[in-house]
Structure 1
Amino acid sequence: MVTSVELDREVTIYTTHSHDYMALQNAWAKVAGNHSAGEDIVIGVVDTGIYPDHPSFAATDGVKPYGPHPTFKGVCRTDPRVPNGFCNGKIVGAQVFFESSKASGIVNATDPDVNSPLDGNGHGTHCAGTAAGNYGVPVVVNGANYGLASGTAPRARLAVYKALASDGKGRSSDLIAAVDQAVADGVHVLSLSLGPNAANVGSVTFTDTFEIACLGALKAGVYVVHAAGNTGPGTSTISSWSPWLTSVGASTMDRTYPNRLYTGDGKTVSGQGLAPPTPGTQNYPLIRAVDAKLTSTSFVNTDFDCADPTVLNKKQIQGKILVCMWNGVPSFMGESGTLSRVAAQAMGAVGVVLVTMQTYDEPHSPSTFDFQDFPGISIWGAKAMESFVTYLQTANAPTGRIGGGTTAEYTGLPPVVAPFSSRGPDFYYGLDQPSATDQPVADVLKPTIVAPGVDIWSAWSPLSTSDKLSIFKGEKFCMISGTSMATPHMAGVAALVRQAHPDWTPSMIASALATTAIPLDSLDNPLIAYDEDLDQFGQKIKQIKRPGNAFDFGGGFVDAATAIDPGLVFDATYGDYIKFLCTIKDLTPALVKAVTSQDCPANPGLASDLNLPSITIGTLAKTRVVPRMVKNVGPLETYTAVINSKNADVDITVDPPTFTIAPGATQLITFTLKAVKNAVYVNQTSFGRIYLTGNLGHVVKIPVSVTYRQV
């Protein structure tokens, strides 16, 4: 039966230390250790396929082999290029979904890429390895060993649903078919590192066909984790909207790969670059690209002088270290590191230095790692940049050597929300050009949570044809960044929670993850978020750091071990989500029934009544009463509500302020939020947090975000 009609859109794809950084050993210990973590949980990965002949997906983890799965019903496609097959016990399903793309002529129906689960991109393999790769697999790239990789749930099984081609693109209808099949096959967790980059203009976000397919997955008992998107840090850039989705943002870790440039005046310039040193111990002449330009040419990109090596004089550069200057907007996502390396190699240079002529104090990934197999360093700090540029301009014959940056260092710093990670607030209606005041803000907190998503090592397909990651061509591991990388971390954590509590609903799992997340650093300050200063025309001036809030990181940074024992959880049924849809003003009961086949109740209540582990009110004019029902999944315990809000424009009361709850029992809690009318706060959001603190040590954290608007 056709339930709704929607434009078939294009969708796209959006580890070693990350598991130490997440303290996964503590979580694994709660499920019988790393060689049992995730046992028999099936994680479905809808993506670009998988490269099965990989140690991360071997039929044994080195301790015990994988036998047949007792309940999973999926099938495995075949491919003559994969003589041993795709499935081996670790991988339990491998299917392909391109029927819509074939019918529309977007892809060649006879192309092997769209008829096989084999991964010609690498993205799907990377996500699968992050979620459930085998424990303790050596990461070797270009002959260098970068440690041991492990999936977040290393004993979980993998079911692969290829719906994106080797170019990383596909159609939403094929994606939905893959989700539906995964549910029918019996996956426990769905990891979705893909989706549209923006909402459909003129449509309610929650009724997007993909979002509704995920609601169907929840109805079937499948927990769905979805990438928040990579279009941050702007307001309401989130592209994962519905409350039944765990929308994952990306954070940094504390690992760096520092590199150093030793200059001829005896100084050391700090930078980064996952690259080997220049040959030997001698210095080499340094030459700026601007000084090696052919006289009859001009730079194509005035912000980046190494964008086109054809305008450079090879005779002047050969045997020297090429210095490239980047002076564009503060973003390296244009692959400037790769372009610098390509230019230097084409000109016969022995190394390359990429200097960022901007005033920010942190590097942008992935430029740090674009040199890889060629001596290179990026210099981005203001002091380092000024020191090096001064030397170049004043020395008669500047020289230097690159020290090499393949050894990791660990700072111990807390996570920072990545600059590309999409932000809230969530919205329920797609506008063509929304502004801060007319965006229809939803009573749903997005993103839900953040996890490591910057510079993540994981499995890779040596068949990858990705131009952006050509430095990893032929390799079996790759380091990349994105909310796509954060998402399978969360899928793996969800698998651990599901393993520990097989009777929990998807909403209970989501609650456990959200209310135990870490929103503060060790000094009780909010986690930091990258942002951008804009000029009067909305153009980026520089990158900055600022204290983050719930629209940056949701509940906070994932805490896997605590999520297994959260104390209290907030549950919501499929019917509760239907009632939620019925509260949206742009959705009539007829439209809700068209997309869900369910009738709206006579009185669905308010959107903020949905039993979420957070409180978000997009428009608070006077007073809002917000009910929440908690269930005790721990021992008999007494909880006391503590309100943490530094803003004086919203008063919060909790009833009851203290309660004792037995194992398995439920407790209704009423939160009353009252706006303190102050014109200063019109259309501004206040953030706070409510702690339900148990006398046995459980702490349930409820993020609160309220926007006061005059109505």
Structure 2
Amino acid sequence: MAPGARIAVYKALYTFGGYMSDVVAAVDQAVEDGVDILSLSAGPSSVPSGDSAFLDVLELQLLFATKAGVLVVQAAGNGGPSSSSVISFSPWITSVAASITDRKYNTTIVLGNGQSFTGTGLSPPTDGEIDYNIAAAADVCVRNATIITVDSCQNPEPFIRPLVYRRLIICTYTFEYEYEAASIATVADTMMEIGAAGFIITLDPNIGPEVVKGTMLTLQIPAIVLNDMQASSALWEYYNANTIRDKRGQAVAFAAKARILDGRQALYTGQAPVVASYSSRGPDVKNALMQTVDVLKPNVMAPGTSIWAAWSPDSEGDKYVKGQSFALISGTSMATPHIAGIAALIKQRHPKWGPDAITSAMMTTADRTGHSGAPILAESSNELIHATPFDFGAGSINVSQAMKPGLIFNVTFKHYVQFLCAVPGIDVKSVKKAVGVACPTKNKFKCSDLNLASVTISNLVGKRKVIRYVKNVSHKEKYTVHIKEPLGVNVTVVPESFRIKRRGSRRLRLVFEAIEATNAYTFGEMVLKGKKHIVRVPLAVYVGSASSS
């Protein structure tokens, strides 16, 4: 994302995970070394115990990194689509959700009868424009071999070499793959050793429509995974109809043929980003009791599915790509470096901007809709639904617009301390012990008053006044305020329009009035429209009790 950036790498994690002390030490060293952006594709395995997640040792270390001027970008987690599954909690951290992009990798097999089926497999095509004979693994192995071992194609020993040479071998995705006793990588090694032209993996009817593991592995031999039961059945039907067997049922002639096309070419569908099912969701929580808090998480979304990245051949992190120099990986850990790189580009253009300004710029300019204007969708358990700020934060990152946001929301270390002092259930003495600063004696500050580029109210009872300050980082401009109210809430903003000079600031007073108890979060948006800039601020409100009036 930022090809001119200098990268510093700090070893803190291992194949088994790691220790919090190592992560904290790595963060501390990075700050001491003077980095501008900290990309953290790691987090706790669960909500930290104690009075508040915000006082956890890693959260506090990242607060001090922010105080030092370092923008912390952290993966939101891969616990979606469950509610409150985010593992990046604090408002001083930019938490990243992951999307599916319009880039697809499909492989096609063309049978000798003209039928063709689409599957997966990042592999080269079969040589030339010719068809190759197909043979089932069980038909080209010694008779005394165990059928399960043969079908899964994990061992080269049972195969009869003259029968497999230059043929496409049919293997079966069995329960062994599900329990990781077998892998597609091993199939590829086996096929290369026995001299096969390539391989086809079909689904075992006893397993059903499972998600096949390891299909994003880059292969050196032609291959296709038919991860569709209908395609698997059709292939077997064609194969059996064109294979001659003796009275004992043993194959004696193979007439079924096919060729595999190139599976390494990316296809672009033009569809809008979709929130990935695995991407962790809000609302944010303040403790292990899963009590929600007035902070929007995640903050922003970036591509995280099927991302090409450099990979250490010696890494034990994923056995499916062991030995590879590049890998196609999915997760919020892959979305996070996108945001870190974009943040570096913004920092390059605006070197005096702090972490708060950079995060604000990315959030207020993010996309809530696709190119067609339709709302961005999110993968749920078994369907696509309209995405909310708890799915994608402020929206999908828009790089060009983030460079020129018009207005930004500034937050200082002092404000973060006020936020900590206002979190319900936190002992003020714990705050002073943790950050070295005492809480104000008369603290009228509410968590929702933190000057973020979003407004979240976790329990609206009656009315709530919320103050926001915007700073102009462009030329003099006039803005008008437009509100899309959350369901069950009346929102007023003063002023309704304003002029703001270059480097000037304006105070916005928002009043949220509960008019109907929803007993659920509802969402809206405040849009500040200028002649050259549009600034969007997501609103998330849980109405606990409506106004008596």
TM-score bucket of the superposed structures, by smaller chain: 0.7 to 0.9
| In structure 1, distance between residues paired with 2:52 and 2:176 | 36
Instruction: Report the alpha carbon displacement of residue 314 of structure 1 after superposing the two structures with TM.
Output: 3.6
Q: Which moved more, 1:489-498 or 1:391-400?
A: 391-400
Q: Which residue of 2 aligns with 1:576?
A: 415
Alignment match, 1:428: 286
Contact 2:156 2:194 in 1 (8 A): no
- Render the CA deviation track for 1:505-548: whole Å, top value 9, x for unaligned: 21111101111111111232221222213xxxxxxxxxx32221
**What does residue 66 of structure 1 align with?**
none
1:322 equivalenced with 2:158 (yes/no): no
Match of 1:702 among 516, 537, 543: 537
Deviation string 1:465-484 (CA, Å, 9 cap, x unpaired) is: 445244543x3x33322222
Q: Does 1:262 align with 2:110?
A: yes
Deviations 1:428-476 (A, max 9, x none): 1114xxxxxxx31121111111112222223333443445244543x3x
Q: Which amino acid aligns with 1:413?
A: Q
Show the counterpart of 2:252.
none
- Name the amino acid aligned to 1:505: G
- 1:483 corresponds to which residue? 332
SS in 1 for 2:109: strand
Cα distance in 2 for partners of 1:291, 1:605 equals 75
Among 450, 454, 457, the alignment partner of 1:610 is: 450
> Per the alignment, in what secondary structure is the counterpart of residue 179 of structure 1?
helix
**Aligned ranges for residues 536-575 of structure 1 at < 5 Å?**
544-575=383-414
| Counterparts in 2 of 1:347 and 1:428: CA distance versus 1, 3 Å | farther
SS in 1 for 2:236: helix
Structure 2 counterpart SS, 1:195 = coil
Q: In the comparison of the two structures, how many residue pairs are matched?
A: 524
Query: How far does the alpha carbon of each residue in 1:576-607 deviate from its partner, in whole angstroms, 9 at most, with x for none?
Result: 11111111122100111121111111215211
Structure 2 residue corresponding to 1:214, chosen from 44, 62, 74: 62
2:249 aligned with 1:392: no
Q: Give the one of 350, 353, 368 matched to 2:200.
A: 353
Q: Which amino acid aligns with 1:454?
A: T
Cα separation, 2, equivalents of 1:604 and 1:487: 35
Pair 1:372–1:710, CA change in 2 (3 A): farther
Could you say which residue in structure 2 is the equivalent of 1:468? 319
Q: Find out whether 1:415 has 2:259 as its counterpart.
A: no
The question of whether the paired residues in 1 share the 8 Å contact of 2:364 and 2:453 is answered with yes
- Please report how far the alpha carbon of residue 650 of structure 1 lies from its aligned counterpart in structure 2 after TM superposition: 2.2
Within 5 Å, give how 1:29-48 maps onto structure 2: none
In structure 1, how many angstroms separate the alpha carbons of the residues matched to 2:332 and 2:363?
17
Question: Residue in 2 aligned with 1:74?
Answer: none
2:222 maps to amino acid: P
Question: Contact 1:622–1:675 (CA<8 Å) still a contact in 2?
Answer: yes
Q: Does 1:691 align with 2:542?
A: no
Amino acid at match of 2:200: V
**Counterpart in 2 of 1:58?**
none
> Which one of the candidate residues 13, 27, 31 is aligned to 1:183?
31
Please, which moves more after superposition, 388-397 or 498-507?
Answer: 388-397
Q: Structure 2 counterpart of 1:487, which letter?
A: T
* C-alpha RMSD over aligned residues: 3.3
Cross-structure match for 1:600: 439
User: In structure 2, the residue corresponding to 1:674 is in which secondary structure?
Assistant: strand
Q: Which amino acid aligns with 1:509?
A: I
- Residue type matched to 2:362 in 1? L
The whole-number CA distance in structure 2 between the counterparts of 1:607 and 1:401 is 62
CA distance in 2, matches of 1:451, 1:422: 13
Report the equivalent of 1:667: 506
Structure 1 spans left out of the alignment, 5+ residues:
1-151, 432-438, 534-543
Identity of aligned residues (%): 38
Give, in whole Å, the separation in 2 of the partners of 1:425 and 1:186.
33
Match of 1:194 in 2: 42
Corresponding residue for 1:516? 365
Q: Could you tell me which residue of structure 2 aligns to residue 43 of structure 1? A: none
Which secondary structure does the structure 2 equivalent of 1:638 belong to?
strand
2:480 corresponds to = 640
Q: In structure 2, what is the equivalent of residue 108 of structure 1? A: none
Q: Secondary structure at the match of 1:532?
A: coil
CA distance in 2, matches of 1:389, 1:169: 41
Q: 1:488 to 1:369 in 2, by over 3 A?
A: same
Question: Are 2:489 and 2:513, in contact at CA under 8 Å, matched by a contact in 1?
Answer: yes
Which amino acid is the alignment partner of residue 523 of structure 1? S
Match of 1:532 in 2: 381
Aligned to 1:369, the other structure's residue is in SS state: coil
List, as ranges, runs of 4+ consecutive aligned residues in structure 1 with deviation greater than 6 Å.
Answer: 288-296, 326-329, 331-335, 362-366
**Distance across 1 between alignment mates of 2:190 and 2:413:** 55
Hey, what does 1:459 align to over in structure 2?
310
Alpha carbons of 1:467 and 1:400: their partners in 2 closer, same or farther (altered >3 Å)?
same
**Structure 2 residue 237 is matched with structure 1 residue 379:** no
Check if 1:652 corresponds to 2:496: no
SS of 1:445 mapped into structure 2:
coil
- Closer, same or farther: CA 472–674 of 1 in aligned 2, 3 Å: farther
Give, as a single letter, the amino acid of the residue that structure 1 aligns with 2:497. T
Task: Give the counterpart letter for 1:483 in structure 2.
Answer: T
Instruction: Say yes or no: does 1:252 pair with 2:91.
Output: no
**Per-residue deviation, 1:366:** 7.4
The one of 217, 226, 229 aligned to 2:74: 226
Structure 2 CA distance for aligned equivalents of residues 294 and 207 of structure 1: 64
SS of the residue aligned with 2:319? coil
Distance 1:497 1:548 in 2: 27
Residue 238 of structure 1: CA displacement? 0.8
Q: Is 1:447 matched with 2:447?
A: no
Structure 1 length normalisation: TM-score? 0.67
Larger Cα Rg: Structure 1 or Structure 2? 2
Q: CA deviation at 1:387?
A: 4.1
1:163 aligns with 2:3: no
Quick one: which amino acid aligns to residue 580 of structure 1?
F
- Give the distance between the partners of 1:650 and 1:250, measured in 2 at CA: 30
C-alpha distance 161-604 of structure 1, shift in aligned 2 (>3 A): farther
